[in-house]
Structure 1
C-alpha cells in the first residue's frame, strides 16, 4: 500500500484551517500536518482500508474521528471502535493498527512533532 504522507506544517500558526475542505481535496491514504501546537502537531488523515501494525516507542498518539468509522486494533486487547466526534489515545509502546473497513474515514491526530506516522 502507498501512503501519501506530508510532514511539513501546511498552515502554521495564526491561520484559518478549513479541515473539511482539506479532507475533501484528498483521497485515502493521505496524511498531512496541518499545524504545530507547542511541541505537538495536528495531522489530518484520510483513510480507507487497513494501515499496517506498528508502534511508537516514545510517543503517545491521539485519534479523533470527523467522518466515517475508525477501528483501532491493539495487540492483545479488544478493538476500539470510534464514530464521528469520538477520540482515543494509544499509549507509547503499544502495538496497534488503524482500520477504516467501512470506507472513507477522516480523522485528526495529535502527536509529538517528531513522530514517524508509519511507526518505529
Structure 2
C-alpha cells in the first residue's frame, strides 16, 4: 500500500523551529522537513552534500564569501565540506535531502542542534 505524505503540510504543522523531522527515506538518504526563522549556525558536513528546497517563504544560505537567496520552489545543494549558515528573515518551511550519516550542524554543537533520534520522532 503506498505511503503518501505532504512535506509542505507536515512542515506547516511543526511547532519547533530549526528542528528537522524525517518524513521519508530513499536508499542511504533521509528526506526531512523543517520550519525555520532566524539563523542556524555556521557549519559544514565534511563527507555529505546537503540539498535545501524551499516549500514556503524565502531562505538565504550564507557561504564563505557569498550567499544564495532561495524563493518558494527553489533548491540549492551545498557541496560537502562547504561552510554554510541557513538564515530565514521570516518564517520559512524547507525540505532537506541528506545522507543518513549527516549530522544536523556538523561538528558545531549549539542549542539548536538536534540529534538523529529527535529528528526521527513521529510528526
> Normalization by structure 1: what TM-score?
0.83
User: What secondary structure is seen at the aligned counterpart in 1 of 2:35?
Assistant: strand
> 103, 107, 114: which is aligned to 1:116?
103
Higher strand share: 1
Alpha-carbon displacement from aligned partner over 1:17-44 (angstroms, at most 9, x marks no partner): 1223212221322210111101111110
Alignment RMSD (CA, Å): 1.4
Runs of at least 5 residues in structure 2 that lack an aligned partner in the other structure: 108-123
Moved over 4 A (4+): none
Q: Counterpart in 1 of 2:67? A: 79
> 44, 49, 55: which is aligned to 2:44?
55
> Normalization by structure 2: what TM-score?
0.81
Count of matched residue positions in the alignment of Structure 1 and Structure 2: 106
User: What secondary structure is seen at the aligned counterpart in 1 of 2:20?
Assistant: strand
Q: Counterpart in 2 of 1:32? A: 21
Distance 1:55 1:33 in 2: 20
